Every structure is written in C-alpha cells, then in structure tokens.
Amino acid sequence: MVAEIVSGLEYSKKVLTEVGEAIAKTREHHPHFESVLAIVQVGNRSDSNVYINAKLKKAKEIGANGKLIKLPDTITQGDLKREIMALNHDNNVDGIIVQLPLDCKHDIDADYIIDLIDPLKDVDGLTRINAGRLARGELQRTIFPCTPYGCLYLVQQATGNPNFVSGKEVVVLGRSKIVGSPAAALFLWHHGTVTICHSKTPNIKEKCLRADILIVAIGRKHYVKADWIKPGAFVIDCGINVGDDPTSRKIYGDVDTEAAKEVAGYLTPVPGGVGPMTVAMLIRNTYEQAKRRRLPGKESNSTWNVEYLKPTLLNPVPSDIAISRSQLPKDIEKVAGEVGIHPDELDLYGRKKAKVSLDILDRLTEVKNGKYVVVAGITPTPLGEGKSTTTIGLVQALGAHLHKNVFACVRQPSQGPTFGIKGGAAGGGYSQVIPMEEFNLHLTGDIHAITAANNLLAAAIDARMFHESTQATEALFNRLAPKNKQGVRPLSEIQLRRLDRLGIPRVNDAEHLSEEQRVSFARLNIDPATITWNRVMDTNDRFLRKIEIGLGPNEKGHTRTTQFDITVASELMAILALTTSLADMQKRIARIVIGSDKTGNPVTADDIGVTDAMTVLMRDTVRPNLMQTLEGTPVFVHAGPFANIAHGQSSILADKVALKLVGQDGFVITEAGFGADIGMEKFFNIKCRYSGLQPSAVVLVATVRALKMHGGGPSVVAGAPLKHEYLDENIPLVEGGCDSNLRKQIENANKFGIPVVVCVNKFATDTDKELELVCSKAKSYGAFDAVVSEHWSQGGAGAVALANSLVKATEGPAKEFKFLYDLELSLEEKIATIAREIYGADGIELSDEAKEKIERYTRQGFSKLPICMAKTHLSLSSDPTKKGAPTGFTLPIRDVRASVGAGFIYPLVGEMTTMPGLNTRPCFYDITIDPVTEIIDGLF
C-alpha cells in the first residue's frame, strides 16, 4: 500500500479560489464590500515575517485586504491592549490575529491578549469564547481554529465524503490550545470517537494503531513511525520542526513521512500539507465574518433568533407598573445580540438599557432598509387614544407572533408629565416598554445633557451682553484674543469661523486685524428684545414661565425679563431628533439663532462661541437607547421633542439604525405625536425631508370614544367621569365622528401617497356594531384596511390582525411618496398650504407681528425651511372646542418663530405653553420607594 499524498497546496488553492470568487460575486451587488484581516505583530522575528507575508500575499491575490500592525519589541501589555481594543472598534476590520510567539522584551500574557479580541473578529478561533463554544459543540456560533479547520477540510475533500469522520476512531497526539485540543473537539462534534494523547499517556503506540484518523501535533521530529500507523489510516501531520543543519533550515514533520507512506491510506506532507491550509482557512474565516458583519440577512437566513417573552394575561387588567414588574426582562446584552448588535457597539447603563453606537450605520451600509411605518391618530380626546400602546402592541404582534424582524422607535418621556398629571408610561396594559421605572426615570441622561448644554448657551448669552456693556472695545478684544507667551494672539477654530461669517480673511495672529475688524469681531451687539433662547429644566414649574434675571449686585443693574421652558421644548431636543450624525448635530448647534443684533442680523450659537462646548456636553446623546417591550422585542427610545412647537418625533438616527438592523423584510414602527394633522404632517414634511427615508405605511389610530366626541358628544374632561354617551352604544355619534374627523384624517394621509391602515383601539365599553361601523366607514373613505385591535388587554396577540393587515399593505413595490409642499414656496404660502390642505381652513390671517417675523426670516435667508405648525392638538382648527372636521374658518397666525438649528420655522396658532404647571394633586403624591428593596411604586 502506498499512501495518497494529500497536498495542502492544492486544496488551499481551491479554498482561496472559492473565497475570491465569493468576494467578487458579493461585490457585484455590494460594490463597497471588503474583507479585511488585521495582523498584529510584536517585534521582528524572521520566521513571523515569513508567515505574515504569506498571509498578506494570499489575501491580496484573491481580492481580500490585509493590514499589518507592526509594534516594537518594547511595547507594554497595556499599550498592546489598547491596540487590540482599537481594532475591535474599527468597523473596517473584520478579522484580527495576533502573531505568536510575541517577540517582546517585556512580559506579556499572550492568552490575556488573545482574549481581548472581539469574538466576532477572532478569525483564529483562539479566544476563550470561541474555544468554549467549540468545546460545547456550538458549531453554528463558533469560528473554527484555522489549523484544525484545515485538517477537517483535507479529510473531507481527499476522501470525497463530508461525513467521513462520523463513526471513525480519531487519535490526536498533542493537546495544545492552538491545534491538539481544538482539533479533538472539532472532530468529536463531527461524530468521531476521539482520544487525546500527550506526553503522560501510556501505551501511545497501541492507541495510535487503533486510529482511523491520526492527527499529530506533538512537536517532535519523526516521532510517529510506520509501525504506529493502522494500515489505511488518514494521517495528518501538523508538526513543524527545523532540522539539525543550521545552514539548510529544512522543515520536518512529526511523522516519519517516507516510512509512513508504505502504511497509511492518506498522508499530509511537511511542508506543503497543513501549513497552506491554515492560511487558506484564516482568509476564509475572515471573509465569512466580513459577510456576517457587513451583510447580515443577505447571505443567510435574515430572521432574528429572538427569545420572546410571554405575558401572563389577567382580567381585569392590572396597573401598568404591576404588569411591567410581573415580567422579568432579558438582559439588554441578550436583546442586542439577538438583533445583530455587536458587543463593541453597546454601552451598558445597568442590565436593562444601553446606548448603541452609530458605527452600525457604517457596518451595515450595504444592507437595504426595512419597511418604515408611522403610527398617527385621529384628533384625540384629552385622555389620549393609545398611539403609544398601539405602537408597542403592533411591534409585539409582528415580532413575537408573526416572527418578523421588527423595532419600535419611541420618544423618551419627560420628567414633567411623569411627576405631573399624566404619570409615566410607554404604552400601557400588556403593550408597553419595560422596565417601566428605567424608562421613565432619567434613562441614560440624555435630557439632563440637553439641559446642561441649553443652559450653557443661555448663560453665555447674558455673560456676553454684560461684558460688552461694561468694557471698552480694546479691553473686550484683548480678553477675547489674549496674547500668548510669544506675544501672538491665536484664535480658536470657532473664532476663526466668526471671521469667515464677517467676511474677514483668517489670520494666524489676531494682532493683524484692523481696528474696524476688531470691533466687528469683538462686539455682537445683541438686541435683548429679540432674544428667543430661554433657560430650561425638566420639571413642571409654572412660576418660571416669566422671570427677571440679573438682580444680583454684581450684575450692575443689567436685568432683563425672560423665562424657563421645559427641557423637551428646547431647540436642542428638536436638533437631537433631526440630526443624522454627531458632525451634523454640531453644524445644527452652530446655526442656532438666539436673537438678532441691533442692525437686524441673526446672532448664532457659533457667534457666541459655545457651539463645540455644547456638542461636547451632548456627544453621547446622539446614540439611541436600547430597551425592550413586555414580549421581548427591541425598542429604541431616543429624543422627545414637544409635539406643538417642535415636530414631536423620536430620532432619525434611531429609525436609521433600526431600519438597517431589521433588514429588507423587517419593519420599523415609529410614532408621531398628537393627531395626524400635526404629528403625521410633521413626520412627512420635516422628519422625512431631513432623513431621506421613504415611509411605507401609516397606521391611523381611532377610538369609538373619540369618534363620539367628534360626532357631537359632550366634552371629555381629564379627571372627570365619562358621560353616558361614551359608556353606552350610540351609533349616530359614531357615524358623525367617522364622517367628519376620521374621514378627514384618512384623506390627509392619502395626500402623501402612502397606504393607510386604520387601527380601531378597542375599549371595554365599545359594542360590536360601533366597531363594525368604524371599520366599514374607514375603508369607504380610502383606508387600505381597518382592523379592531385589543393589544392593551391582550398584548401582541390582540394586534395580530392589525399586523397582518400592515404586512399586506406594505407588500409589493413601494408607493410613490410625495411632500405636501415645495420648500421653494414662500413661508406664507407654505403655512397657507398646510392650513388649507390638512386643517380644512379657507386660508390664514397673519398678525402684524407674524408678518414682521416672516419678512425678517426671509431677509435673513431662512425662507427655504419647512414649516412646523404650533397649534392645539384637540381640533383641526385653532379652537380646541371645535370638533369633527370644521370648515369655513380662517387660521389665525399670531406669531412666527425660527428654530434654525433644528431646521424649521414654527408659526404660532394661539397661545403655546412651553412650561407646563403642576396641578393641585400631581402624580408625585403616589410615587414612592421601598428603602430596603428599592422597589418603586406609583409611577402609573
């Protein structure tokens, strides 16, 4: 018998050719796809240089990329750790290996360094996580170590049988962490009967003679002789031993090759056997990880493997906090892993919430977006009609019951309503975000960061006016641009940007500015009467609606009247919701107009000099906050702008990240604040303009209660018992509401070219006849479908019909989405278009103040911004008492203001309160904490 020599060179070429073809094919659909291997080398060992060059050369030959991070032999363990961590966080790197042995003058724990590698980038398969998974047989989650993987491949290919190992006696000589132990585990889980032998094993020869497959990795030249080998066995020689002649440097294996040929059935040579396969499998592993990281859902099954949570449904339905507390949430790391968020893309805030890195957008740039759905509502009663509850219930139905990839994107609640009249909530009943306490109390601190940044600008405005009024121009200039020790007046970047806006050429030394230029540079000359930037806090405090500042003796009589707003009314909150990156947020903050100077020109945050400091305070806020629903589906909680003076939406960034994570066949469900005439209109005309995202459908929430009110029913007052009309069947009232408000809101949605699914949120007092009437009417007025939903009392199971209807509405080619107005129209024309088309008004009436503001903003160059109407949410008109779908009215515009940083103009229709007040008995009476268990009660 003469053994078949199994050429690793031949089979490695086959592997590399397949990988090269796969990369080329992937690039046909994803031109920017890369497969990048990073090799970390410490020192300059010549043998390491040979191995590294071979890896880099082979990668380049097939269209993959390799990068060498060569570090000096003087590096410390701490510095090497930082290099590894940087590669972990580099989205352009798919695989990381550390070349061993480390050639270093300092003691470095190589095992510790290897374990620092992100398991998803551990293409050598040597971290404890991958080794543990392999040992446990979790082959679908394991990156196989390259040399054992190459051994297995050679056996399968040479025999032509992928199941050749199954049932065979496998003996492994050597128990190293790199070859022996992982090879034993790999062959074991391919159903071989494995024996590991080592230096302490008795009767090694006899054990080897039983082997159908003999893997030798013992590190001793020609250790295994021919009489150790079972006739016809498959012998894999992993040894690399240098010969005794120092001039030849000939390489020998652990097997006496010439003798073994006469006995074995298959034999791998040294060199040219396992060595080339190790390189090939390393490059193959890197490609597989690049595909998994960069193209999730494209090359494999795109459905998430989510552990859904099953609520225990009770009747009557308990309080929201009781329901939340009855469900044990998953750790947020598990939620993240289930939806494809990598560990290095997650910053934990405890065990149930985390911030998510925007690097996901770069990693998944080639992944197509999922379906994008907005939940809006008819004009609500003061009690609300359940848009948030519908959002969460729908997501639970799509995920836990239809097994779709789905994300909810909702706003972060303010502390104001939490401790005021509304109480905390994110949905309700069996359709809510959990844990409720985490959701409602601080979350990850975004609102506090906005408060700090907002008030920094407010303080800077008053300080600048004070210093300008109390100093001569020369003294003011000297303090703004002081000389350094070299006698030079260097300007910061933000000061150089002010020169740009003034049309003054940049200088390296402000000493070179002329006297006139110094005056222009140093004096902002803010007109106090035009200041629109207020201080904020996240508490309902009516006594801060109007205040006088500067009353201290050191302010020298520089007083002025101003006010506090609640933090979620800050323009910074609107900026956060509309920004598309940290860099974009910085630019938006720079453009904030805080007022005008005494010649009528706008004064910006950049003029004040505080842009970059504010961005620093808000740097973490741009990352969405990850939580989960009661049934274990993922939720992004991010941003929470007012829905009257701002657009009332969660963030563009949360939507964008979610759309990539769910993949092409998944769904992202987000909510628009207030009724569709406000929230949905702003979602389309403002949010979708800045995001560039294509909406797929509208879910329009209606209730029998609200329709009865619009059909002529008595007033609904928060805190007062409902009148009998709302508790008993009343078909005429329901019909009147359908023919007015429901009809108009469906028509409004259809103006944008997007299909509308009406969700009739069922209450216990609704009758079948009333519900059937609403569904029939909705479809007759142009809704794609209308479905009764019981998600509040039944969770996701109660919204399955709604979910199925939404899936049908979004099937097929995307509908042609269109904006309501062109940005090139004048501000007045855009305002009038919204009033006529969405509210049903005959036209608008501008006050003198509104006319003056429109003229000013047009002159200042802001006329191309979209419109964000600030009006009551309780009526389509400006009068909250007018229900249904009023006609024959003129919309009064009493004032117009600009949020230039956020990117919209907001006309004021009536009085808008930007600082809510506490009622006689606020919610905080009921909120308490057990000091022993730290359990919070009374949130809702």
- What is the DSSP pairing of strand 756-761 with strand 593-596? unpaired
> What are the percentages of helix, strand and coil residues in the chain, rounded to 5?
40, 15, 45
Interhelix angle 582-591/571-578, nearest 10 degrees: 150
Neighbours of 232 (CB within 10 A): 12
- Strand pairing partners for 927? none
What residues pair up with 427 in beta bridges, in sequence order? Answer: 432
On the question of a cis peptide bond just before residue 435, with omega within 30 degrees of 0, the verdict is: yes
Residue listed under structure tokens 């209807």:
805
Q: Are strands 667-671 and 371-377 parallel, antiparallel or unpaired?
A: parallel
DSSP 570-627: SHHHHHHHH-SSHHHHHHHHHH-EEEEBTTS-EEEHHHHT-HHHHHHHTGGGGSPEEE
Residues paired with residue 41 on neighbouring β-strands, in sequence order = 70
Q: Name the DSSP letter for residue 490.
A: -
Amino acid letter, 372: Y
What's the CA gap between 531 and 510, in Å, rounded? 29
Residues 6+ positions from 631 with CB-CB distance below 8 Å: 308, 309, 310, 311, 396, 399, 400, 795, 796
| Sequence-distant (≥ 6) Cβ neighbours of residue 286 within 8 angstroms | 35, 36, 37, 59, 64, 94, 95, 123
- Yes or no: say if 625 and 446 are a contact pair by the CB < 8 Å rule: yes
Pairing assessment for the beta strands 625-629 and 354-356 based on DSSP bridges = antiparallel
| Residue 726, amino acid | Y
Cis upstream peptide for 271 (omega within 30°): yes
Catalytic annotation present for 55: yes
Catalytic residue among 25, 55, 598, 708: 55
Distance CA 233, CA 248 (A): 32
Cα–Cα distance for residue pair 427/434, rounded to 1 Å = 10
- Cβ-contact 717, 709 below 8 angstroms: no
- Hey, what long-range contacts does 711-716 have (CB within 8 A, 24 or more apart)? 711/735, 711/736, 711/737, 711/738, 711/739, 711/740, 711/884, 712/736, 712/883, 712/884, 715/881, 716/381, 716/382, 716/383
* Closest by Cα among 484, 481, 476, 512 to 494: 481
Q: Residue 728: left if φ>0, alpha if ψ -120 to 50, beta else—which one? A: beta
What sign does the dihedral 439-445-450-455 (CA atoms) show? positive
Residue in 1, 11, 7, 3 with CA at minimum distance from that of residue 256? 3
Tokens (6 digits) for 510: 């402000």
Reference 351, options 437, 239, 473, 238; nearest CA is 437
Place of tokens 């992993």: 238
Q: Residue 318 in 3-state DSSP? A: coil
For the chain, what's the residue count? 940
Whole-number CA gyration radius for the chain: 34
| Residue 151: closest CA among 192, 124, 186 | 186
**Residues carrying an active site annotation:** 55
